[in-house]
Chain A
Amino acid sequence: MAETKDIQKKQETQMQHGVEPTRAGRLFTPPTDICETNDCILLTADMPGVRPDGVNVMLENNVLTVRGAVADEHSDESGAAYAEYEVGDYERSFSLSEKIDADNIEARMNNGVLTLTLPKTRPSHRQIEVKTG
């Protein structure tokens, strides 16, 4: 019987000095997978307790920011007799080295997992014809 091992404890997001979140409560860094294919970058982030309408994705100056606000029905974890996880919102930023086609970013939220498909902008290949004479 194989067991999943070493699942890390939820990591709290470190805010930059002087920057404060608008919502009270904890803020966590969602564990994220990023995978690159020939024509896109795929980003998958675990944000349990966040509904599709609680997700906010922004791309500005090649910095991608993902935010997830935990839904009210999942946020009441106070007074637990026994607790292994804490509940809070999620936030994480990534700097992108590739040029991304911002208009065609696709976001999907399913069972607490956010999947972003970031299409790379295609460099325009133009063959220059060389004439003789």
Chain B
Amino acid sequence: MNGFGWQGWWSPWRRLREMEREMNRLFGSSTAPVGSAFPPVNVHTDGDGATITAELPGVETEDLDISVRDRTLVLRGERKAPELGGDHKWLRHERTFGQFARSVDLPFAVDTESVDASYQDGVLKVQLQRSDADKPRKITIKS
């Protein structure tokens, strides 16, 4: 993936997501998820880092692109529809396919050297460490 370029701060999708978030904040209940964003993510944080999990059933790892920059994790990829040959008739069609891109804002800057990602049973897990420069430093007062 080639850097960030135009997908930076003024990206229309980012604006859209910000608006969506704002709308949710104003009108939604506190328990409502951010909405229709795919994949849905959960974030666990502690003092040293964060673990982000995402439900991505049926995605091949080669179709998944993860990148980190400063305080943002970007998940990008494609959930490919299975190829069905010959004669077939849909009786039920509830699963969705296509490309997705999501960014997750983190409460700290990430040490980009120590990002660990695994994918198992359709769940993606990304472990991020807080960068040393971002960690709070205790200041000693000289007497």
Interface set of A (CB-CB < 8 Å, partner B): 1-9, 31-38, 41-42, 44, 46-51, 71, 73-74, 77, 79-85, 110-113
Does B68 reach chain A (CB closer than 8 Å)? no
Which residues of A are found within 8 Å of B56, using beta-carbon distances? 48, 112
Which residues of B are found within 8 Å of A77, using beta-carbon distances? 42, 53
Q: Which of A74, A81, A84 contacts B123, CB < 8 Å?
A: A74
Q: Are B55 and A35 in contact (CB under 8 A)?
A: no
- Chain B positions 94-110 with a Cβ under 8 Å from a chain A Cβ: 94-101
Q: Are A34 and B122 in contact (CB under 8 A)?
A: no
- Minimum CB–CB distance for B84 against chain A, Å: 6
- Minimum CB–CB distance for A106 against chain B, Å: 15
Q: Are A49 and B43 in contact (CB under 8 A)?
A: no
Other 6 A-B pairs with CB < 8 A, given A34-B90, A74-B120, A111-B58: A37-B84, A44-B82, A50-B121, A71-B121, A81-B50, A85-B41
- Minimum CB–CB distance for B44 against chain A, Å: 5
Q: Are B88 and A36 in contact (CB under 8 A)?
A: yes
Q: Which applies to chain A's interface (DSSP): helix, strand, loop or mixed?
A: loop
Q: Are A37 and B88 in contact (CB under 8 A)?
A: yes
Does B28 reach chain A (CB closer than 8 Å)? no
Q: Are B94 and A112 in contact (CB under 8 A)?
A: no
Question: Given the complex of chains A and B, what is the CA–CA distance between A1 and B42 in angstroms?
Answer: 24
22 cross-chain CB contacts under 8 A: A1-B99, A6-B36, A7-B37, A31-B94, A32-B94, A36-B88, A37-B86, A37-B87, A47-B57, A49-B123, A50-B122, A51-B121, A74-B120, A74-B121, A82-B43, A84-B33, A85-B33, A85-B41, A85-B42, A111-B57, A111-B60, A112-B122
Residue of B whose beta carbon sits closest to that of A2: B99
Does B73 reach chain A (CB closer than 8 Å)? no
Q: Are A81 and B55 in contact (CB under 8 A)?
A: no
Q: Are A46 and B88 in contact (CB under 8 A)?
A: no
Which residues of B are found within 8 Å of A38, using beta-carbon distances? 87
Interface string of B47-79 (1 = CB under 8 A from A): 000100101111110000000000000000001
Q: Which of B87, B99, B123 contacts A4, CB < 8 Å?
A: B99
Residue of B whose beta carbon sits closest to that of A110: B58
Question: Given the complex of chains A and B, what is the CA–CA distance between A84 and B38 in angstroms?
Answer: 10
Question: Given the complex of chains A and B, what is the CA–CA distance between A38 and B40 in angstroms?
Answer: 36
Does B138 reach chain A (CB closer than 8 Å)? no
Which residues of B are found within 8 Å of A42, using beta-carbon distances? 84, 88
- Minimum CB–CB distance for A62 against chain B, Å: 15
Residue of A whose beta carbon sits closest to that of B17: A3
- Minimum CB–CB distance for A108 against chain B, Å: 12
